[in-house]
Amino acid sequence: MPEVKLDGVTKRYGKVTAVDHLNLTVRDGEILTLLGPSGCGKTTTLRCIAGFIIPDEGRIFLGKEEVTRLPPEKRDIGFVFQNYALWPHMTVFQNLAFGLQLRHTPREEIRQRVREVLSLVRLSGMEDRYPRQLSGGQQQRVALARALVLRPRVLLLDEPLSNLDAKLREEMRFEIRELQRQLGITAIYVTHDQAEALVLSDRIAVLNEGRLVQLGSPEEIYQRPANKFVAGFIGLSSFIKARVVTVGADAAILETEDGVRFKAPKNGLAKGQEVVLAIRPEHVEILSAPSEVLDNVFQAEVMRAAYLGNSIDCRLRLGKWELRTQLPPGRVLSPGEKLWIHLPSEKLILVKA
C-alpha cells in the first residue's frame, strides 16, 4: 500500500481558505485521522485526496504517482461517505459488484470477491437485500465493503460513524480499526469526534482553520498538546493563565494575576513569560486534608456537580479560575463546599497562550 503525501495543498472558496498550505504524509499501512471542528478543512482535504475537489495549489501523491489532477475514477481509492451513499435501486450485491463490473472482472470472480468482503464485514447472506431493508449499522458495513471490494490503494472515510447511535458507533470504531489492521491498508479517517480519533488512529492530524496544528500519536496529542486549541479540543481541559515568576534548577514557579502560585516543570520557561496551564480533569486529585509534603495543594470551592452514572462531573473554583474534575460516583457534593485539591506539577501541561 502506498503512502499518501500532501505537499502545500491549498483550497479556497472565494475569500475563505478551506485548506491552507497543508503538508502531510500518511505512512504506508497506517490509519491517520484528520481531526478538527466543523469548517477546519478536514473533509475538503479528504475530498482533494479522493479527487472530488482539485486543489488551487499544491500537489498530492499516492506513492510516487502524482494524482493532483487525476479524476477520482482513475485514482483507485476507496471512499466511505458520511451518509453511506448506497445506491438505493441496487441490492447489496449490485452495490458491491458495480465497481468490479466496470473493471470487466469475470462474473465468477465478482461473486467470489463480494462473498469474501461481505463475510469480512459480517454481512454474509445479505446479498439480495436493498439498502432500505438494512439497519444503519448494516448500511455502514455495506458502504465499507463497497470501498474494500475493489482492493483500493488507499481507503478514505468521511465521518462514517456519525449517523449511528452512540452504542453502535463505539462498537464500529473497534471494528474499523481491526479491519484496517487486518488488511494493512493505508487509511485516512475524518472525524470531529476526539474519542473516535483516539481509539482508531495510529496518528492524528489536528486541523484548525485549514492548517495543520499538530501531528502525532494519540498519546502525544493528548499528553503533549501543541497549543491551547489542541488541549481544549482533545479531551477536557481547564485553562489557567499565569506568568513565570522564578525558574529554578528543576522547576518553575508560576503565578496567576489573582495570586495563585503553581510549581510546574521548567521546560524552557523564562522569567516573566506568560503561559497557559492546561489541567486535565483526571489530574485534579482530591485530598481529605491539606498536605505539607505535596506541591500545588489548594483549597477549592464546589461550583456545581453533575451525576454522569459512572462518575460525577464537578466544577470547582480556584481563585478566579474554573477547574473541571471527575470524581467516583457515590460522593455527595454541594455547591459552596470546600475541598482540598492537589495538582501534581509533573501533570500540568504548559501550552502557548
- Please report whether residue 72 would count as binding other proteins according to CB under 8 A: yes
Distance CA 84, CA 301 (A): 48
Stretch that binds other proteins, among 73-81, 112-120, 178-186, 195-203 (CB under 8 A): 73-81
Give me 224's grid cell. 503533549
* Closest to other proteins by CB, 80 or 276: 80
- CA 82, 30, 144: angle at the middle one, nearest 5? 30
Query: Please, how many CA atoms are within 13 Å of residue 186, restricted to the half-sphere of its CB?
Result: 17
CB of residue 57 vs other proteins: minimum separation in angstroms? 20
Looking at 158-248, list the stretches that DSSP marks H as alpha helix, in order from N- to C-terminal side.
166-183, 194-200, 218-223, 228-233
Is the Cβ–Cβ distance between 150 and 123 less than 8 Å? no
* Closest to other proteins by CB, 85 or 247: 85
- Count of residues engaged in binding other proteins, rule: CB under 8 A: 26
Among 16, 54, 69, 83, binds other proteins (CB under 8 A): 83
Amino acid, res. 268: G
Stretch that binds other proteins, among 17-25, 74-82, 205-213, 236-244 (CB under 8 A): 74-82
Site for other proteins in 271-310 (CB under 8 A): none
* Closest to other proteins by CB, 73 or 274: 73
Among 55, 78, 131, 216, binds other proteins (CB under 8 A): 78
* Closest to other proteins by CB, 183 or 236: 183
Measuring CA to CA, how many Å separate 43 from each of 79, 81, 143? 12, 11, 18
Q: What is the DSSP letter of 352?
A: B
By CB neighbour count within 10 A (0-12 exposed, 13-18 middle, 19+ buried), where does 2 fall?
A: middle
Is the Cβ–Cβ distance between 28 and 1 less than 8 Å? yes
CB of residue 94 vs other proteins: minimum separation in angstroms? 10
Site for other proteins in 119-158 (CB under 8 A): 132, 146-147, 150
Distance CA 4, CA 203 (A): 14
Burial letters for 313-326: b for 16+ Cβ neighbours within 10 Å, e otherwise?
ebbbebeebebbbb
Stretch that binds other proteins, among 70-78, 159-167, 177-185, 243-251 (CB under 8 A): 70-78
CB of residue 271 vs other proteins: minimum separation in angstroms? 56
Q: What is the DSSP letter of 29?
A: T
* Closest to other proteins by CB, 90 or 120: 90
CB of residue 81 vs other proteins: minimum separation in angstroms? 5
Measuring CA to CA, how many Å separate 291 from each of 253, 274, 297? 19, 28, 7
Is the Cβ–Cβ distance between 269 and 352 less than 8 Å? no
Among 25, 82, 256, 311, binds other proteins (CB under 8 A): 82
CB of residue 159 vs other proteins: minimum separation in angstroms? 12
* Closest to other proteins by CB, 30 or 159: 159
CB of residue 23 vs other proteins: minimum separation in angstroms? 25
| Of residues 185, 205, 196, the one with CA closest to residue 160 | 196
- Please report whether residue 212 would count as binding other proteins according to CB under 8 A: no
- Please report whether residue 65 would count as binding other proteins according to CB under 8 A: no
Site for other proteins in 84-123 (CB under 8 A): 85-89, 98-99, 102-103
Chain residues that interact with other proteins, rule: CB under 8 A: 50-52, 71-73, 75, 77-79, 81-83, 85-89, 98-99, 102-103, 132, 146-147, 150
